[in-house]
Structure 1
Amino acid sequence: MSSRDIYVRGFDESTGKTTPSTTCPDCDGTIRTVDGEQCCEDCGLIIEACRLDRRGPRTFCGDETEKRRTGGPRTVTRHDRGLSTTIGRKRDARGNAIPSKKRRQLARLRREHDRARFRSKRERNLAHGLGGIDRLTAQLDLPRSVQEQASSLFRTAQNENLLIGRSIESIAAGCVYAVCRINDVPRTLDEIASVATVGEEKVRNGYMVLNRELDLPVPPQQPQEYIPRLVSAFDLPCRTERRARDIATEAVEADLTTGVNPAGFAAGCVAVAAAKQGIEVIQRDLADEAAVSPTTVREHRDTLWSFLGR
């Protein structure tokens, strides 16, 4: 068998991609290869994906024809975009123990390296803010995409001189909250303030500054965004979640959610849905999970009962 026959359906190690075939085996559509993955343009069927590339990460220096393998890709989550140096401590790259004399020398190098990491106070503030965003997203268990978008938003805020006279932590927390709002990730101000080093009022001020000065595309929050988290917290069945979503949708269409806390209204929808299905849920526990008072949950519950015609 010739090498051509192998690469018609196999993996081409010289390019890191699978060679394209002619037609889709499912719908006879056109096959295209993108990033080592064959897929059909008509039905979207994935024919074959690129296997492991054991040659390591790549970076392109200017001309893309010159490809060097020099390390991981650049990232906006670091002040130097990931092009930093890490000096070891007790063991070398092969895992061997470093002698004490060499460790003292590395300690001195590490100290001088830390002093020379930042070229200006502006860069030091950027590193401080990006570090705060990294910590917040990790403690809130947010996806990597949220951290990257929040880091880019913090860089934009610094370029627009929004950090002058304001706390770096408040702007960093405001960036995380703004990105959560933009991507429909249900996180309240109280949740972000609980893990931030500043209070809720400063987090709110930081978000308002970003929203006002940068004109962020923040959509209004809807109660439906908070229902899955509340249902999951109390291990309620799927039918309760569906019923709560239907109630919330009807309430939104009737303009009952105007000017109310969406998390508290979602708690009221869950309480009504659980009561209709004979499931007991304590209002205080719902209020604690939604970061509102039990009175708020009770008021929304009564409003929904009247709206649904109990």
Structure 2
Amino acid sequence: MDPDLERAQQWWSTNSQDESLQLGNSEIRRVTAALDLPKCTREEASRLFYVATVEENHLHGRSIELVVAGSVYTAAYLNSIPQTPREVANEVGCNTNDVHKGHRLVVGQTYVTKFRPDAVDYLPRFAQALHAETGLDYQHTANLQSMAHHLIDKTFSQKPNTSARVLAASALYAASHVEEVSITQSDVATATDVDEATISRHYKTFLNRGS
């Protein structure tokens, strides 16, 4: 290859990467702020984005939004503050399939080994959302969260294949039965973004095996 042409291609590639990093980091700051995620999660997302796009050079042919979504989604998992695909998608401006694709890309290219959240990781956020949805007082909300945690630990000795989000939502509803707190499946479904039919299929597992 002509030396001048090779230098021009290297210059273009470097500048393109710099622009992508700047844009990606700007988006990560915006999205993590909108999701109220802490600085450590933002920094982890930026690290994942850098490795995936620069060190592994896997941005080519993919949108920056997809890699940003995957980086934020994965970083939140790693910091035990998991977000739902819909929450990330809404803030990034993509669809949930893009979040999943970005997540798989980031996990595959950054050698992340821990990427599945535990159901208990969702409980603080879900309990807070339930409080906001129903107006349930703080004491009852705390009791539900504590009981849901207990039911999950007692029911499953190993991490099950069922979605952690589904288990957390179902455990909260099961906990309302144990604690005799008057909330509905609809309340829990709205607060957790898990549909009522799914909660209905799973919550009795906790009552039969965990109480």
TM range (shorter): 0.7 to 0.9
Distance 2:113 2:125 in 1: 24
* Greater per-residue helix proportion: 2
Distance 1:149 1:240 in 2: 31
Contact 1:173 1:203 in 2 (8 A): yes
Distance 1:205 1:173 in 2: 9
Q: C-alpha displacement at 1:305, in angstroms?
A: 2.5
Residue 87 (structure 2) aligns with: 191
Q: Does 1:266 align with 2:175?
A: no
Residue 304 (structure 1) aligns with: 206
Q: C-alpha displacement at 1:214, in angstroms?
A: 2.0
Residue 206 (structure 1) aligns with: 102
Contact 2:77 2:117 in 1 (8 A): yes
Aligned length: 189
Distance 1:120 1:213 in 2: 22
Distance 2:122 2:26 in 1: 28
TM-score by length of 2: 0.83
Q: Does 1:171 align with 2:67?
A: yes
Q: Does 1:217 align with 2:113?
A: yes
Q: C-alpha displacement at 1:182, in angstroms?
A: 1.1
Distance 2:147 2:198 in 1: 20
Q: Does 1:120 align with 2:15?
A: yes
Structure 2: tracts of 5 or more residues without a match = 1-13, 132-139
Task: Letter of the 2:182 partner, please give it.
Answer: E
Q: C-alpha displacement at 1:219, in angstroms?
A: 4.3
Contact 1:274 1:280 in 2 (8 A): yes
Distance 1:157 1:234 in 2: 36
Distance 1:301 1:131 in 2: 41
* Cα deviation 1:126-163 (Å, max 9, x = unaligned): 11111111111011001111111211221111221110
Distance 1:230 1:251 in 2: 19
CA RMSD of aligned residues (A): 1.7
Residue 135 (structure 1) aligns with: 30
Task: Letter of the 1:223 partner, please give it.
Answer: A
Distance 2:183 2:51 in 1: 44
Residue 95 (structure 1) aligns with: none
Cα distance 1:302–1:143, how it changes in 2: closer, same or farther (>3 A)? same
Cα distance 1:168–1:302, how it changes in 2: closer, same or farther (>3 A)? same
Distance 1:207 1:252 in 2: 26
* Cα deviation 1:163-202 (Å, max 9, x = unaligned): 0111111101110111111111121212111211211101
Q: Which has the higher contact order (CA 8 A, sep 6+)?
A: 2
TM-score by length of 1: 0.58
Q: Does 1:231 align with 2:127?
A: yes
Structure 1: tracts of 5 or more residues without a match = 1-118
Q: C-alpha displacement at 1:209, in angstroms?
A: 1.0
Distance 1:126 1:222 in 2: 31
Q: Does 1:292 align with 2:194?
A: yes
Distance 2:190 2:39 in 1: 27
